[in-house]
Chains A and B, each alone.
Chain A
Amino acid sequence: MRYLCLIYEDEKWWEKATESDMQQGMAEYNGFTESIKKAGNYIGGEALQPTKTATSVRVRNGKISTTDGPYVETKEQLGGYYLIKAKDLNEAVQVASRIPGAKNGTVEVRPVMEFDQP
C-alpha cells in the first residue's frame, strides 16, 4: 500500500536558519531518506521551495487564471513530501513519525487511491 506523507512545517524556520542549522536540518533529512531507502519504504520524495514562489492556476469558463499564492494564513505550510510503501497504516505512521519535520511540524499521512487496471 502506498501512502503520501505531506510535511507541514513553519517555513520561516528555514528562512531564519543559520548555515549550521540548515546543514544539520539537511543532514537529518538525508539520514532519514537513506534509512527508508534501505528499509524498502521509499518510493519518492522532494522538498519544495517556499510558498512565496507558489502560483495558483484555475480554469474558469475556458479561461486560464493565474494568481500569486495561495495566501492561506496558517502557521505551517506544505514544505515537502515522501511517497512511501508500507504494509498498513501502522507501518506508515511509524515511518512518518521519523520524518524530521514531525518533531516541529505536522506530517499528514494519506493513503494513495489505487485504481484497478482496465
Chain B
Amino acid sequence: MQDAFAAALERWPIEGTPANPRSWLISTGRFKAIDRLRKTRREVSSPPDPLSLEVSSPPDPLSLRERGDDISESEDYDVVDDRLRLIFTCCHPALNPDAQVAMTLREICGLTTEQVAAAFLTNAPTLAQRIVRAKAKIRDAKIPYEIPERRDLPERLASVLHVVYLVFNQGYFTRPDLAVEAIRLGRLLVELLPEPEAIGLLALMLLHDARRATRTNGKGELVPLEEQDRSQWNREQIKEGIVLVERGFSSRQIGPYLLQAAIAAVHADAATPAETDWSEIVGLYDVLSRADPSPVIALNRAAAIAMRDGPQHGLELIDEILARDELGEYHLVHAARADLFRRLGKKADAIAAYNQALAHAVEEPVRRLMQRRLRELGETA
C-alpha cells in the first residue's frame, strides 16, 4: 500500500545533463553583466585568489563588482552561469508548461524532439510547434536570458524544480532513462545553486530511485513498499539522499521537496517494514500539509496515520477527504481504502474499493497489483 502512495508522491521532475548551451539562446545576445547572484557565488565559493587583495578587508559592494569584472574570468563561472541562465530561461513561468519541459529536455539534457515526444506521448510535430512558439515568445516578449534576481529566485526556482519533478515523474515506472536525466539535472542544479529546495528535490529523487529495482516484479506488477526486498535497494543512493536531507534541514528553510525527501529517508532507514518510524512520518506529513496543503498530501497523511494508529483511523480520514468531494477519481484513494478494508478483514468492501481503483488506474504496474489483490481476496473468500 505504501508504495502506491509513494508512487503518488514520487511523481516528480527531472534532471538534465549538463549540455552545451544551444546557440539559439546565446546568439540572441542576452548575456548580462555579472549579476548579483553570480557575485554572491564568487564571494562564497571561489577559492582564495592570491591576486585578490580584498580577502581580509570587509566586503565592499563596489570592489566586489570590480573584482568580478577584473579577475581572471574563470571559465568555470562562465559555464556555471551560462547553464543556469539556460535552465531559468527554458523553465520561465511565462512559457507554456509543456514547452518548459520539452525545452529543458532538449536544450539542457540534449534529447531530440522525437525522444521528448515519445516520453510524453505526444507527437513530434505538435511538440516541435510548441517549442517554436515558446522560442518566439522568448524573443518577442523579451524573456531575458539571465539568472533571476534574489527577490524572484524562490518563485523562479520553484518553476525549475517543478520541471525537473515532472521529468522524474514521467520516468517513474517505464522510463528509467528519464529518471536518470532528472537526477542528473537535479545534481547540476544543486551544484550551481545549492538552495534548500533544490537539495530537497535531488534527495527525494535519489531516495525514490534507490528503490527502482524492487518497485516492480518480473511480471511488471507494482510491489508494495512493505513487500520489497530491501537488500536490493541502492544503499549508495540512499546514503547520498540522507546526507542531502540533513544538509537541507540545516538551512532551516524547510520546503515541500525537502519534507517529502525526509519522509522517503525515514522509509529508507527502516531495515524492515515493521521498524518504520510511523510517528516520525506522520509528524513530517503534518508539517508538509501546512507547508503545501493538498488533497494528495492529506491522503498520504491518512495512510501514515493508519499505519501508526490502525486502519480504522486512516479510513475515517480518507472518507473525510472524499466527503469534501476531492480525489474521487484518483485511483490511489480507492486503492488506499481497499487496502485498509483488507487489513480490517472486510473483504466485500475491499473488493468494491479495488474495483473502483482499477476503474481509475491507468498505469499498468498499478493495475496489475490491484488485480493481484482481487485474485487473493477471491481465492480466500
Contact = CB atoms under 8 A, between A and B. Distances in A.
Contacts of A1: 142
B140 interface: yes
A111 B94 contact: no
Interface in B142-158: 142-144, 146, 148-149, 152
A3 B343 CA distance: 61
Contacts of B141: 89, 109, 111
Contacts of A93: 94
Interface string A85-100: 0011110011000000
B104 to A, nearest CB: 18
A83 to B, nearest CB: 15
Interface in B63-94: 92, 94
A54 B115 CA distance: 51
Contacts of A94: 152
A27 to B, nearest CB: 25
Contacts of B148: 90
Contact of B140 (A90, A109, A111): A111
B61 to A, nearest CB: 21
A63 B140 CA distance: 36
A1 B146 CA distance: 17
Nearest to B88: A90
A55 B148 CA distance: 43
A94 B144 CA distance: 13
B139 to A, nearest CB: 10
Interface in B120-160: 140-144, 146, 148-149, 152
A18 to B, nearest CB: 33
A88 B144 contact: yes
Contacts of A90: 143-144, 146, 148-149, 152
Contacts of A87: 144
A78 B374 CA distance: 56
Contacts of A109: 141
A93 B141 CA distance: 11
A88 B142 contact: yes
Interface of B: 92, 94, 140-144, 146, 148-149, 152
Given A90-B148, A93-B94, 9 more contacts: A87-B144, A88-B143, A88-B144, A89-B92, A89-B144, A90-B143, A109-B141, A111-B140, A111-B141
